[in-house]
Structure 1
Amino acid sequence: MRLTSISDETARKALLDSRGFVRWIYIARLSLAVALLVAALLAGGRPDPTATIVASLTFAAAVAFTAGSAWTSLVQRRPLGATFFYLQSLFDLGLVTAVVHVTGRSASPFVALYILVIAAGSLLLPPGGGLLIAALGNVVFFTDVILSRESAIDVALWLQLGIFAIVALGSGFIAGRLRQGAVGREQLAAELVQARLEAADILHNIRSGIVTVDVEGRLLYANPAASSLLGADLEARISQPFLDWLEPIAPILAGALRQSVTTRERIVRAEGEVTRDGTTMTIGVTTTAPEAPAEEGHGLATSTAIFQDISNNKRLESLRVRAERLEAVAEVSASLAHEIRNPLASIRSAVEQLAQARHATEHDRVLGALVMRESDRLSRLLGEFLDFARTRATVIEPVDLNDVVRGATNLAAAHPSRADDVVVSCSTPEAPIVIEADEDLLHRAVFNLALNAVQAVPRGGRVDVDVLPLPPDEVPAGAGFGGGAVALRVTDDGPGIPLDLRERMFDPFFTTKEGGTGLGLPVVHRAVEAHRGLVLVDTGTHGTRFTVLLPLAQSGSNEES
């Protein structure tokens, strides 16, 4: 936090309202000038011409000077600096001297007005200014008394001069202490303003949503991230009932805030869903407990919730669990395939010999052919099991992803299972996108995804295969794509994947296709994982999108290629 020094001008502003103070000085000055003029004109007996002239000139000067000062300070509202206050104090010294001169000099009852001028100067002027005005006042008063020669320099005169000095010292000391306290308050206020600005800047730019509500459920604060996550302009809902509006959108967030503000319990890492614009995302919520309930008189009870989109985190966790499950299934599949394949080959050979024996009947030959056909089918299935278990990236080299995607898409578009009038579109950037990959394995994964999409859409449907660089802000947190990533998106406008099948679509041997093995998507997942990538699925009641995220090759690899 940056601290700023406090100037004398700032200290004066903190000590008192300078403009309000000089306004009272203007009133007192004009009142004194008017009183002096009236006293000179209406004095009993014959008026003293000299006193009348002095009073008239003093009145005219006071009106002119005060009008100019008021125009500067109150109308134009220019900054009031030390020069302005010195001029005011000097003029007031002259005005008081004129009053004292006309009303009896050292015997004048208005000598005490010097004290007011000195005290005002101590408050308005920088440190030491009050002493300077007091010294100048002593000189002017002493000179006026000496030049008049009407009064001897006695103890009373010296006492008056001493009082002026004491008033200047006392006023200066008090003003200094007040100014020091005001500077401390002003500095503290500056620090608080700076801290508030820094906190506001942090809250404005943080990616987590932050909302604060009171005990009645009214919204007190919401940062921009909260509006973005909830899909609404929360700024417009400040001071309005919030929890009832929030309930259908984010039940977990509304419930956490309500529980926290009423029971003073802190909610930590609650998870729930937010539904907005027909889409659903998972959020994590943490709340703060209010300091004190309103009924105890310690302040209004509030609760603040911090929440963020953890959909990507949940996806990554799901991918990790899926990868572990597929790895375990692959090991079991490989072991069982090896254990079954050899006995199956022996059984097929024995049945073939029995079916071809001389004494075999026609019925025996039909049964033998059936057994051999099913044995061949099981052998092919075991081969697929082994292929699934052996899904590894064996030859890693720089590969242009665009070429792989175009080749696999064209092959899927030419597949016999493609329905009539199905449009298959492939869009790739003009510049090569180089990744480090096993080209054969990657081709197999892309072909499986494209073929699944082609087979999922009915007649007249559409399949789009797109390759595009992934912006850094769209890379899932924790994905580990430090050198950048590329996205392969396979989108179809088919019927979508039913809700009860979404959790099982990557399970080995699970299929809804007649004659399918249920190994297509598991192979895709293992192939992408072998390239340190991710497979994400977005589906609903209409259409499905598979997104494959792959890390880009490092610059060294690009140069070698």
Structure 2
Amino acid sequence: MDDLSYENLKQRIAELEQQIQCYQNFIKKIPFPFVFTDYKTGIKLEKSREKAAPIMKPIPASPAKEAELQWDIDFYRDIPFEKIETFLTPILDLVPHHIVFVDGNGIITLCNLQAANDTGVDRDAIIGKHIRELLQLPDELIVTLQSIEKKEPIYNQEVLDRFYGIINTRIIYNDDGSIKRVISMFQSLNMMKETEKLAVAGRIAAGIAHEIRNPLTTVRGYLQFLKNDLPDRIISLIDRLLIPELDRANNIITDFLSTAKPADIKMEKIKLNQFIRKDVGMLLQSEALLNNVNVYFDLDDQLDRCEINGDKNQLLQVFLNLFRNSVEAKVKKTMNVTISSKRSNNMVQIQFCDDGPGIPPTVIDHIFDPFFSTKETGTGLGLSLSRKIIELHKGTMKVQSGDKGTCFFIELPIDDKKLSV
């Protein structure tokens, strides 16, 4: 063998040794145990979780058989938990409850979309922050932190602070016994409570419609029929007082029935900012002029191309109800109303704010209840119906009020097909 061939052979052997070393290093880094059986070479590789290096065993060769690979992956031990959370996040975003993962120090590592939207935070920004920044509660009221402190899971504990519902926690431990994650799931019962209220309202409404509406229609019809045979003084009384009062009672029943069972939603694609500027703006323009109200718009440019699915007429009714509610509370000569929009995750947030006297703290928890009103002539159905319309659009409606005015917060889902625009 000449020197050149010998050098080539040495180089080839060195390359093969490097490749073998690379394969060995790779196998050592594989975190889970496996068994690889290569029938063509007659070699079996077995790697356990306890040892980094695999064991090589000879087996009877069988060139006709295909190689086999078997593995045993423990997701909690063999895969970095951050990878698992990344995988779980889009799945947990579909869950309509609050799901939050924290580490042993209460730092958030996962927050699903429902929890972020209901607490009004940016989901990406809250990751890495303490859970108190998400819930805006003192530590002693946060059940998840209690679970960390006691190192015990919580089962179906009722929460009665600013959130109302049931919370469960589960704990995942590291091999050394320290806490790797506390998984907490909060199920809000507010919607269930509202559903029960509306069920009662529906039964009452059905009774009212049957027992009162038909007699009212009968009385109104007979008054119209008989008034031509009565003196002018009685006719005037019928036209100016009796028939209008019967119509007002009938309208109250109609509104109450709408609250219990609103009309069917006729969905269409709505460009949100355009809808607020043109449709809502035009609707409120004349009302604002008549009532000495200034209406301002502060709309997020990001929403110019975003669409929602909605019924324009019913959404216009919501804004009209809110506007009239503000006007009826007006005490100053001039009132300012601001309608703003912004995007949060895959939701649009709309604020309808006035600078009126505000809602007293003693009644603010009841303003969405059917028939609750602080006005002498009010039916107490406008806000209840408005929130029901928003909920039928898969959204939420809340209120905050103080000395400087009242703000209604509406959240609606952006059309999924437009999220990438």
TM-superposition CA deviations, 1:46-102 (whole Å, max 9, x none):
xxxxxxxxxxxxxxxxxxxxxxxxxxxxxxxxxxxxxxxxxxxxxxxxxxxxxxxxx
Are residue 507 (structure 1) and residue 369 (structure 2) matched? Answer: yes
Shift in Å, 1:492: 3.6
Equivalent in 130, 134, 156 of residue 228 of structure 1: 130
* 3-state secondary structure, aligned to 2:319: helix
- Normalising by structure 1, we get a TM-score of 0.44
Equivalent in 135, 141, 148 of residue 250 of structure 1: 141
* 3-state secondary structure, aligned to 1:376: helix
Equivalents in 2 of 1:417, 1:334: separation in Å?
39
Are residue 447 (structure 1) and residue 317 (structure 2) matched? Answer: no
The answer to whether the 8 A contact 2:267-2:310 is kept is: yes
Give 1:384-403 correspondences, 5 Å limit: 384-388=255-259, 391-393=262-264, 395-403=266-274
Task: Give the counterpart letter for 1:535 in structure 2.
Answer: T
Identity level (%): 21
Equivalents in 1 of 2:304, 2:270: separation in Å?
13
Q: Which has the larger radius of gyration?
A: 1
Equivalent in 405, 408, 413 of residue 280 of structure 2: 408
Shift in Å, 1:537: 0.9
Are residue 533 (structure 1) and residue 420 (structure 2) matched? Answer: no
Partner of 1:157: none
**Gapped regions of structure 2 (runs ≥ 5):** 1-21, 27-49, 55-72, 90-98, 110-127
**Gapped regions of structure 1 (runs ≥ 5):** 8-183, 213-220, 233-245, 292-299, 473-484
Partner of 1:489: 351
The answer to whether the 8 A contact 1:424-1:464 is kept is: yes
Equivalent in 189, 202, 205 of residue 333 of structure 1: 205
Shift in Å, 1:383: 3.7
Partner of 2:253: 382
Shift in Å, 1:493: 4.6
**488 and 198 in structure 1: CA distance in 2 versus 1, 3 angstrom threshold:** same
Shift in Å, 1:229: 1.8
Equivalents in 1 of 2:185, 2:357: separation in Å?
28
- The structure with the largest strand share of the pair is 2
**254 and 401 in structure 1: CA distance in 2 versus 1, 3 angstrom threshold:** closer
Equivalents in 1 of 2:396, 2:229: separation in Å?
53
Equivalents in 2 of 1:470, 1:290: separation in Å?
34
**416 and 514 in structure 1: CA distance in 2 versus 1, 3 angstrom threshold:** farther
Task: Give the counterpart letter for 1:377 in structure 2.
Answer: R
Shift in Å, 1:549: 0.6
Give 1:54-453 correspondences, 5 Å limit: 198-199=80-81, 208-212=100-104, 221-225=105-109, 227-231=129-133, 250=141, 252-253=143-144, 255-257=146-148, 260=150, 266-270=153-157, 272=159, 284=167, 286=169, 306=182, 308=184, 310=186, 313-314=187-188, 317-319=189-191, 321-323=193-195, 325-326=197-198, 329-330=201-202, 332-334=204-206, 336-350=208-222, 370-388=241-259, 391-393=262-264, 395-406=266-277, 407-415=279-287, 420=292, 422-425=294-297, 427=299, 429=301, 431-453=304-326
Equivalenced residue count is 323
* 3-state secondary structure, aligned to 2:396: strand
**546 and 454 in structure 1: CA distance in 2 versus 1, 3 angstrom threshold:** farther
Are residue 5 (structure 1) and residue 3 (structure 2) matched? Answer: no
Equivalents in 2 of 1:392, 1:537: separation in Å?
22
* 3-state secondary structure, aligned to 1:525: helix
* 3-state secondary structure, aligned to 1:449: helix
Equivalents in 2 of 1:273, 1:323: separation in Å?
19
The answer to whether the 8 A contact 1:404-1:442 is kept is: no
Shift in Å, 1:442: 2.6
Shift in Å, 1:230: 1.8
TM-superposition CA deviations, 1:398-421 (whole Å, max 9, x none):
343334323224433542698656
- The structure with the largest helix share of the pair is 1
Equivalents in 2 of 1:334, 1:398: separation in Å?
33
Shift in Å, 1:552: 1.7
The answer to whether the 8 A contact 2:157-2:168 is kept is: yes
